[in-house]
Amino acid sequence: MAAITFLEAIKQALFEEMAADPRVVLIGEDVGVYGGAFKTSEGLLEKFGWERVVDTPISESAIIGAACGMSYLGLRPVAEMQFIDFIACCFNQLTNFVAKGHYLWNAPAPIVVRGPSGGGVHGGPFHSANPEMYFLHTPGLKIVYPSTPYDAKGLLKASIRDNNPVLFFEHKFLYRRIKEEIPSDDYIVPLGKAVVRREGKHLTILSYAAMMHTSLEAAAALAKEGIEAEVIDLRTLLPLDEETMLQSVKKTNKCLVVHEDTKTGGIAGEIAAILAEKAFHDMDGPLVRVTSLDTPVPYAPTLEEAFLPNAKKVFAAAKELARF
Amino acid sequence: MPATETRAKTRLSRQQYLDLYYYMRLNREVEETMTKLFRQNKIVGGLYSSLGQEAISVGTAYALEKRDWIAPMIRNIGALLVKGVPPRDIFTQHMAKYTSPTKGKDGTSHFGDLDNLHIISPISMLGDLIPVMTGVAMAGRYLGQKIVAMTWIGDGGSSTGVFHEGLNLAASQKAALVLILENNLWAYSTPVRRQVPLENLADRAKAYGISSYIVDGNDAVAVYTTAKEAVERARAGEGPILIEAKTFRRRGHAQHDPAEYVPQEQREFWEKRDPITLYEKFLMDEKLLDAKGKKEMEDKLAALLDKEREFAEHSPMPPPELASEGVYCTGPECHDLQPRWERDVTELLPPKSSVEPVWTVEGFGRGKSSSRENAPIHFGDTPQTSEQVEAEKSAARASAPVKRETKPAAKAAVEKKAFAKSTARGKARS
C-alpha cells in the first residue's frame, strides 16, 4: 500500500467508478487526449474510449447541460470544470435547471461537477476561486470539499453514486503536496458527514479543504501552550453535518471557523447562525472567523499571503478566543 | 423564400393528414379553454398563447417516434399533446392543482416525463435546453438507442449565449438533435429586426457547419414533411439540423399583454394565414375531410375537453406541507436510475472498453493519451529536489496506515515534509 497524492486519489476514484459502472462517463475540456489540465483523467481515454471520455469545446454551460441531459437517460456523468472559477459561466444551468429538477418535476440529475479550486498557488484572481457559497444557497445541490486523499477518493465515489447533482471541489494546492496511504479495496466516504481530525476540549475549530491542514498546524502549536483545540473537517458543506458540530461545541463551548473563502457570506456566517439557534446556551464566547479578506484573490505572492488565512492567524485568533 | 436544402415531396396517409388536423384543433381548443379559465381567474399565473403557431408544434412533434425525446418551450402545448400528454395535465398545471404532473410546484407547460413519454421540462431561461438535448442525443447514441432529440427555440432565444454553446457542441458531437427555430417575429415587444441582423435565422446554421431548412410555419404539411426529413437525417447520423419556421405570434407575450406594438397591417397579413383555416381548406379540397367528419371531430374534442377541464377544476390544491418535500432524491427507493441499454454493456467495460469511436475528427489524436506519469500541471505543481523525494520516502515509511472514519485524532496523514510548505505559501512555487 503506497502513499498516493490527492490528485492520484481523484484519478483512482474516476477510474474505478468508470471500470465498475458503464453509466459513468466523463465530459469536459481537454479531459481526453490531454488527460485534463491537472492530469486527473490521465489514461482514461485509452481505457474507456471516446464515448465515455468526451472532450468538449470551451462551453461550460453546454458541458453542464449535456451532462444533465445524459443523466436523464440513466447515465452518471462527471463534468469537469478545468478550473472551478469557470463554474460561474454555467451558474444558470446549474442553479435554475439542474438543481430544481427533482423538486419541480421529479427529475433527479445524478451528475458530479468537479474541478480544481482554491488559492495559495499564485493562480491569480481567475484561477484561485472558492465558489462554494454561490451554490450553498441553492436547494437541490450537494457540495463536497475534501481535504485528504482518502476522503477525496471516498467522497468522489460517493458523489458519483449519489442520485443528486454534486459539486465536488478539489483544492489544487493539495493535488501533489499531500500524500496518504489509502486502502486498495473499494470504499466510500458518505456525504454529509464531518469528521473530528483532532480531539480537544478547550475550543472547536471548524474547517475544510486546505484550511483543514492549516487548522491542524495551528492546533499543534496551540497544544504546546496548553490549549487543546478540537479540529473538525466539515468535508461536505451541503448538507452540513450539524450534529458533529453541535456535539463538539457542547463540549468545548467555543467555536472558531477557518475557511479560505472570503469572509462576508462565507460559511462561517451560516455556522454562526446555526450555533446561535441551536447551541446558544452552550457558547462561552463569540464565534470567531478566520477567513480570507473580502477582496478578489490577488496575484503577487506578498498580496496573496496577506489575503489568505494561515496557521499563524488561526493560532492568534484561537488564543484570543480561549481567553473567554 | 430560399430553401437551404431540397426537400423530398412526401405524401401522407389519410390517417396522418387527419391526425395533424386533430392535434392542431386540440392544441387550439385546449388553449381556448384555458383563455376562458384565465378570464374566470382560475389560472394561477401567466398564460402564454401559441395561437397561429399550432402547425409548428404539431407538425414537428408528429415527425418523431415514440422513443424520441422532446424538450418543448412554453408555446409548444401542441408538441406535448402529440407526445401523448392528456389535456388535463395542461389544465391542472396552469391551475396549480395537486393532480398536476408537478403537483403544483410549477405551472404552465413546465413539466416532463422521463420514463414514458420522454419529455424534458422547459425552463424559462431560453436556450438552456439545447445543450441538455444534445446530452440526451449523446446518451442515446452511447446506449445504442438510435433516438432523436428535438427542442424548440424562438427568434428571441436564438440570441442567447447557450444557444451558441449548445448548437456548437451538438455540431462538434454530431448529435442527433433537431432544433426548431420558431421565428414568430416578436420577442415580447422587440421585433426580430431589432434583435438579429439576418433575413433568415436559419443562416445561423452556417456558423456551426450544420444543415438547415426554412419552412412556412403556417403550412402544417410543409412543417411535417420538413421535420420528418430532418429527423430521419439526424437519426442516420448526419448531426444536428436547424429548421427555421416562419410564423407570427398573434397574441401578446402573455395574456396580460395586448401587444399594441404590433403594426396593424402585419397582424392582418398573418390573421389571413391562420394555419388551421388553411389546413382545413386543403383537407376539404383534397377530399380528406368533409363537413360531417369535421363535426364529428369537434364533438369528440368538446366532450374530451369538458371532461378534462372538469377533472382539473375539481382537483384540490396541493397541501402546504408539500412545499418542503422533494428537494433531493433520497436514493434507489426514490428513483432507481437505470438506463435502457440497447447494446452489449460488456463492450463498454475493461478490457474491451476502448471501442472505436462512432465518428472521428481528423487530426485529433488517435484516442491515445498524450501525457506521461507525473506530467507537469497548472500551478499546484512543485518540482521536487532529490532531498525532498528522499525525505518523503522516509516519512512514508514512518507513518502507519490510519483509519479515518473511526479514529478521531489527527488522521489526515499529511506528508509532513510536503505540507510544511503550506505555512510559507508565498514561496510554494519554487
pLDDT at residue B379, rounded to an integer: 74
As a whole number, mean pLDDT of residues B239-264 equals 94
Domain pair A3-181 / A195-322, same fold: yes
Let me know whether B301 and B410 are in one domain.
no
Evaluate whether residue B368 is within a structural domain: no
What value of ipTM does the predicted structure carry? 0.96
More reliable by pLDDT, A300 or B358:
A300
Closest residue by Cα to residue A215 from A255, A264, A172: A255
Position B377 confidence tier, pLDDT thresholds 50, 70, 90: confident
CB contacts, 8 Å: A62 with chain B: 131, 134, 162, 165-166, 168-169
What SS3 class is residue B184?
A: coil
Contact indicator for B299, A72 with CB cutoff of 8 Å? no
Position B395 confidence tier, pLDDT thresholds 50, 70, 90: low
Let me know whether B41 and B187 are in one domain.
yes
pLDDT at residue B380, rounded to an integer: 54
Let me know whether B293 and B410 are in one domain.
no
Which of these ranges, B89-98, B274-283, B388-397, has the smallest mean pLDDT?
B388-397
Over 80: is that where the pLDDT of A90 sits? yes
pLDDT at residue A56, rounded to an integer: 96
Let me know whether B154 and B297 are in one domain.
yes
Which of these ranges, A305-314, B54-63, B267-276, B401-410, has the smallest mean pLDDT?
B401-410
For the stretch B18-54, pLDDT in tens is 999 999 999 999 999 999 999 999 999 999 999 999 9
* Farthest CA pair distance, chain B: 95
Contact indicator for A264, A215 with CB cutoff of 8 Å? no
Instruction: Kindly give the residue spans of alpha helices, DSSP state H, lying in chain A.
Output: 6-20, 44-48, 60-72, 91-92, 101-105, 132-136, 149-161, 210-224, 242-252, 267-278, 301-307, 311-322
Q: Is A113 left (phi over 0), alpha (psi -120 to 50) or beta?
A: beta
Over 50: is that where the pLDDT of B426 sits? no
pLDDT at residue B392, rounded to an integer: 56
Over 90: is that where the pLDDT of A163 sits? yes
Could you count the other beta carbons within 10 Å of the beta carbon of residue B199?
11
Let me know whether B79 and B174 are in one domain.
yes
Let me know whether B311 and B405 are in one domain.
no
CA–CA gap between residue A274 and residue B294 (Å, rounded):
66
Residue where a domain stops, chosen among B321, B337, B354: B321
How large is the angle between the packed helices B275-285 and B54-61, nearest 10 degrees? Answer: 60
- In the set A102, A122, A127, A137, the catalytic residue is A127
**A195-322 is a CATH 3.30.70.1230 domain:** no
Could you count the other beta carbons within 10 Å of the beta carbon of residue A86?
18
CA–CA gap between residue B377 and residue A173 (Å, rounded):
12
More reliable by pLDDT, B394 or A245:
A245
Does A56 sit within 8 Å of B169, measured CB to CB? Answer: yes
pLDDT at residue A119, rounded to an integer: 96
Let me know whether B26 and B167 are in one domain.
yes
Evaluate whether residue B363 is within a structural domain: no
Let me know whether B400 and B293 are in one domain.
no
What cell was used for B305?
375537453
pLDDT at residue B351, rounded to an integer: 79
Over 80: is that where the pLDDT of B412 sits? no
Position B108 confidence tier, pLDDT thresholds 50, 70, 90: very high
CA–CA gap between residue B205 and residue B173 (Å, rounded):
15
Question: Mind giving me the DSSP string for B201-257?
Answer: GGGGGGGGT-EEEEEETT-HHHHHHHHHHHHHHHHTT---EEEEEE----S-SSTT-
pLDDT at residue B365, rounded to an integer: 52
Give me the number of domains chain B comprises.
2
CATH code of the domain covering residue B312: 3.40.50.970
Residue B265 has, within 13 A of its CA and on its CB side, a CA count of 0
Evaluate whether residue B204 is within a structural domain: yes
Position B308 confidence tier, pLDDT thresholds 50, 70, 90: very high
- Least CB-CB distance to A213: which of B172, B375, B419? B419
Contact indicator for B60, B150 with CB cutoff of 8 Å? yes
As a whole number, mean pLDDT of residues B371-380 equals 68
Evaluate whether residue B116 is within a structural domain: yes
Residue where a domain stops, chosen among B301, B321, B341: B321
- Whether A127 is catalytic is yes
Let me know whether B264 and B390 are in one domain.
no
Place of cell 468508470: A18
Let me know whether B284 and B406 are in one domain.
no
Contact indicator for A194, A144 with CB cutoff of 8 Å? no
User: What is the average pLDDT value for chain A, to the nearest integer?
Assistant: 97
CA distance B228 to chain A (A): 23
Position B401 confidence tier, pLDDT thresholds 50, 70, 90: very low
CB interface of A with B, residues 155-194, below 8 Å: 163-164, 172-173, 175-181, 183, 189
Over 90: is that where the pLDDT of B429 sits? no
How large is the angle between the packed helices B54-61 and B220-235, nearest 10 degrees? Answer: 30
CB contacts, 8 Å: A38 with chain B: 377-378, 380
Over 90: is that where the pLDDT of B366 sits? no
Position A46 confidence tier, pLDDT thresholds 50, 70, 90: confident
For the stretch A219-243, pLDDT in tens is 999 999 999 999 999 999 999 999 9
CA–CA gap between residue A169 and residue A116 (Å, rounded):
6
Position B393 confidence tier, pLDDT thresholds 50, 70, 90: low
Contact indicator for A203, A322 with CB cutoff of 8 Å? yes
pLDDT at residue B359, rounded to an integer: 66
Evaluate whether residue B345 is within a structural domain: no
Residue A90 has, within 13 A of its CA and on its CB side, a CA count of 35
- Least CB-CB distance to B337: which of A22, A74, A104? A74
CB contacts, 8 Å: A176 with chain B: 377, 380-382, 418
For the stretch B122-167, pLDDT in tens is 999 999 999 999 999 999 999 999 999 999 999 999 999 999 999 9
pLDDT at residue B193, rounded to an integer: 92
Evaluate whether residue B355 is within a structural domain: no
Based on the number of CB atoms within 10 Å of its own CB, is A258 exposed (0-12), middle (13-18) or buried (19 or more)?
buried
CB interface of A with B, residues 97-126, below 8 Å: 97, 101-108, 110, 116, 120-123
CA–CA gap between residue B360 and residue B36 (Å, rounded):
54
Let me know whether B52 and B162 are in one domain.
yes
CA–CA gap between residue A238 and residue A144 (Å, rounded):
7
pLDDT at residue B372, rounded to an integer: 61
Over 80: is that where the pLDDT of B381 sits? no
Residue B111 has, within 13 A of its CA and on its CB side, a CA count of 26
CA–CA gap between residue B185 and residue B50 (Å, rounded):
13
Structural domain boundaries in chain A: 3-181, 195-322
Question: Mind giving me the DSSP string for A268-291?
Answer: HHHHHHHHHHHSGGG-SS--EEEE
Position B369 confidence tier, pLDDT thresholds 50, 70, 90: low
Let me know whether B261 and B407 are in one domain.
no
pLDDT at residue A264, rounded to an integer: 98
CA–CA gap between residue B173 and residue B181 (Å, rounded):
20
As a whole number, mean pLDDT of residues A146-166 equals 98
Expressed as residue numbers, the domain containing B95 is 14-321
Which CATH architecture is the domain A3-181 placed in?
3-Layer(aba) Sandwich (3.40)
Pairing mode of beta strands B186-187, B190-191: antiparallel
For the stretch A248-301, pLDDT in tens is 999 999 999 999 999 999 999 999 999 999 999 999 999 999 999 999 999 999
| A125: phi then psi, degrees, rounded to nearest 5 | -65, -15
CA–CA gap between residue A163 and residue B331 (Å, rounded):
6
B418 reaches A (C-beta below 8 A): yes
CA distance A189 to chain B (A): 8
Contact indicator for A206, A177 with CB cutoff of 8 Å? no
Could you count the other beta carbons within 10 Å of the beta carbon of residue B135?
35
Q: Who contacts B373 (Cβ-Cβ below 8 Å, separation ≥6)?
A: none
CA–CA gap between residue A82 and residue A123 (Å, rounded):
13
Give the length of chain A: 324
CA–CA gap between residue A169 and residue A146 (Å, rounded):
7
Contact indicator for B325, A140 with CB cutoff of 8 Å? no
For the stretch B329-349, pLDDT in tens is 999 999 999 999 999 998 888
Evaluate whether residue B374 is within a structural domain: no
- Least CB-CB distance to A66: which of B169, B399, B428? B169
What SS3 class is residue B408?
A: coil
CA–CA gap between residue A310 and residue A217 (Å, rounded):
9
Evaluate whether residue B7 is within a structural domain: no
CA distance B221 to chain A (A): 30
CB contacts, 8 Å: A69 with chain B: 120, 131-139, 149
